[in-house]
Amino acid sequence: MNAIVGAIHLGGFVSTPRDYITTKLGLDKTTTAWEFLRSKYAKHFGFGIEVRGRAPHFESTREMRHRAMEAVDLALKHYGDMLIKADVQVKEGRLRKEEDMVTGYDIDFSLDWDYSKPVLIEITYDRENRSYRIMSLVYNHIIDGVPLALYTHLIHNHLVLGKASLLSHSKRTFPFSYKFHLWDSGTLPDKKSWLRLNCLGESDLLPIGSQIDVTGSNILKLRNKIALEIGQNVSNSSVEIALLSLEMGITWATDYIAQGDQNSKRQVDVQKGYRGLGMVRTHLSDDISNADPSTQYRWICNAVKDAAKEMNLERTGNGHASRFYTQYRKINRFFVNLFDRRISHQDVMSVAGTQLIGSNLNGIDYGVPLFVDGITPDDMKFIFIPSHGEHNDKTKDERSKRSLTTHVTEVSFACGPKIKESNGRSTVYKSLKVLPQKADNILLAWGHARDKIKSLSQAEKVKQVFMDAYRPDNPNMGRIEKRAGLYLEL
């Protein structure tokens, strides 16, 4: 066991009496392992829904915004155990082509936003083409991806159905309102902090994503092959994270999975409540990427088998990672910051495990009808911008003074809900965030010329990594699909 990890376990054990007393007195700012980790590391992300050719008619953007704000108010009334107040802006405009990749946090920051809100929701109304896009962004992970997707589902349903919507007739109640904790920052976002999202520095991650045709995907076939071989149901995201780790030379990975009701194993019913994210961690030996394919395949099988067991435990917050972070959150904040600001990057990863983060919104039951009033799966697309982990600004400054790496996450991966069209084709929105420095190393390892890489901007480097990994123009030629195909042949 890493010495820092051992010290955290010990420190959490020693702090248990104090933690118990402060919790009972209501003095502890965080209550769960995930809440603690989110307040320390997890940052901005987004989720969106596009409807093409079937949008209802609105006389004006003002009318559309009124109905959207009506949805927000009703959502807080019936889902206030997991949602908070959001600002909504509506503009008219043309939606981009479906095959276009989405770069950055794709909302218009020039609109008249209330920048103190940690959730911004932009609706683009394409009147001429009877289309619209709802794009939601969260600052500093104040709510999770599952509630954000729920928010967007509810607004879509209410925009289309109005007084006949799920929200208009909901009887759902909850005992406690959602409380968010700004453990490190201490303040709500402002305009400057929101605008910084689209500024790319050496320790920032830029999101790139696109619709991917996953019909006949080798990743899904490999998942099924592994499931048969180990005699256990496995998550597709666990397999994809293993493939990404091997392809990109990544050692530490964490797969975020939604926690739901106590009886939920594979699917989370959000209508029954939501308890945050569980964390399934994988550690890859540094030399496995140089091993022969059969050795790598055996490693994937073992890693996925362990992840499947942990996933069931993490659904209820009882996995190894949740138990560890429960101990970590008990330690005095001074010592936690001391660790973050002074320990080596390898020790940071042993504690945070966020070199690669994965999130998958498939297999979650939101209970909100999406295909209503003539809208079909052919008319809808999803967007999912992944979260990432990073040190707070004070910690970055302290680490920089000591010539320590200032980043936590190098790559973040997200997979939106799958859409199956009437022609039998299936698409999934996949996206990556990549640290520019890591993008350099990945592209070099993938055979790109050093001079060519130097000529690219940071955003172009990240885009090239995504293109090579997933090839939205020809998914079967993407490096991740080809690697999955390699193991299918064994």
Nearest to 254 by CA among 276, 283, 296: 283
Q: How far is CA 315 from the centre of its chain?
A: 16
Q: What are the φ/ψ torsions at residue 46 (nearest 5 degrees)?
A: -155, 165
Backbone φ and ψ for 406, nearest 5 degrees, come out as -100, -5
The pLDDT of 193-211, averaged and rounded, is 90
At residue 187, the pLDDT reads 66
The string over 215-242, giving b where at least 16 C-beta atoms fall within 10 Å of a residue's C-beta and e elsewhere, is eebbbbebbebbbeeeeeebbbbbbbbb
Write the CA distances from 281 to 256, 318, 319, 358, integer angstroms. 9, 13, 10, 10
Tokens of 228: 């048969």
User: Does position 140 have pLDDT exceeding 60, yes or no?
Assistant: yes
412 and 357 in contact (C-beta within 8 Å)?
yes
pLDDT at position 122: 98
CA distance linking residue 86 with residue 151, whole number of Å: 10
Task: State the DSSP code for 169.
Answer: G
Report how far residue 429's alpha carbon sits from residue 101's, in angstroms, rounded to the nearest whole number. Answer: 10
Interval 391-435: pLDDT, tens? 988 899 999 999 999 999 999 999 999 999 999 999 999 999 999
The half-sphere exposure of 38 on its side-chain side, counting CA atoms within 13 A, is 27
Two tokens at 138? 């969260």
Separation CA 362–CA 213 (nearest Å): 15
* Confidence check: pLDDT of 251 > 70: yes
- Cβ-count burial of 99 within 10 angstroms (0-12 exposed, 13-18 middle, 19+ buried)? exposed
Residue 263's pLDDT band, with cuts at 50, 70 and 90, is low
Cα–Cα nearest to 331, from 3, 29, 12, 14? 12
Contact call for residues 352 and 407 (beta carbons, < 8 A): no
For position 203, what pLDDT does the model report? 82
Q: How far apart are CA 470 and CA 431, in angstroms?
A: 9
Work out the average pLDDT over 353-357: 91
Rounded to an integer, the average pLDDT of 378-396 is 93
Q: Work out the angle between the directed axes of helices 479-488 and 218-230 (0-180°, nearest 10).
A: 40
What percent of the chain stands above pLDDT 90?
68
> Binning pLDDT at 50, 70 and 90, where does residue 243 land?
very high
- What is the Cα–Cα distance from 12 to 426, expressed in whole angstroms? 46
Residue 443 has pLDDT above 60, yes or no: yes
**Higher pLDDT, residue 135 or 178:** 135
- In the chain, the percentage of residues whose pLDDT exceeds 70 is 96
- Distance (Å, whole) CA 151 – CA 477: 35
Question: Taking Cα atoms as reference points, which of 248, 268, 271, 246 lies closest to residue 258?
Answer: 268
In degrees, rounded to 5, the angle at the alpha carbon of residue 445 between the alpha carbons of residues 443 and 446 is 60
Evaluate if residue 218 carries a pLDDT over 90: yes
8 A C-beta contact, residue 104 and residue 207: yes
| pLDDT tens for each residue of 289-337 | 889 999 999 999 999 999 999 998 998 889 999 999 988 888 888 888 8
DSSP H/E element including 427:
strand 426-434
- What's the confidence (pLDDT) of residue 265? 54
* Rounded CA separation 131/59 (Å): 14
Q: In the Cβ-directed half-sphere of 367, how many Cα atoms lie within 13 Å?
A: 14
Please give the backbone phi and psi of residue 111, each rounded to the nearest 5 degrees, phi first: -70, 170
Helix (H) or strand (E) holding 120: strand 119-126
Residue 178: the pLDDT is 87
pLDDT of 467 reads 97
User: 156 falls in which pLDDT band (50, 70, 90)?
Assistant: very high
Question: Directed axis angle between helix 293-314 and helix 479-488, to 10°?
Answer: 100
Confidence class for position 266, pLDDT limits 50, 70, 90 = low
Q: Are 101 and 209 in contact (CB under 8 A)?
A: yes
CA distance 363 to 384: 15
236 pLDDT above the threshold of 70: yes
pLDDT, position 198: 86
pLDDT at 475 over 80: yes
* Average pLDDT taken over every residue of the chain: 91
DSSP state letters, 101-119: PEESS-S-TTS---TT-SE
**For the chain, how big is the Rg over CA atoms in Å?**
22
What is the end-to-end Cα distance of the chain in Å, rounded? 34
Q: At what angle do helices 293-314 and 218-230 cross, to 10 degrees?
A: 80
d(Cα 2, Cα 15) in Å, to the nearest integer?
Answer: 20
- 76 touches 88 (CB < 8 A): no
Q: Is the pLDDT of residue 462 over 60?
A: yes
Work out the angle between the directed axes of helices 293-314 and 236-248 (0-180°, nearest 10).
140
- The 3-state DSSP class for residue 466 equals helix
**pTM recorded for the entire structure:** 0.94
Distance CA 411, CA 409 (A): 6
pLDDT band at 38 (very low <50, low <70, confident <90, very high): confident
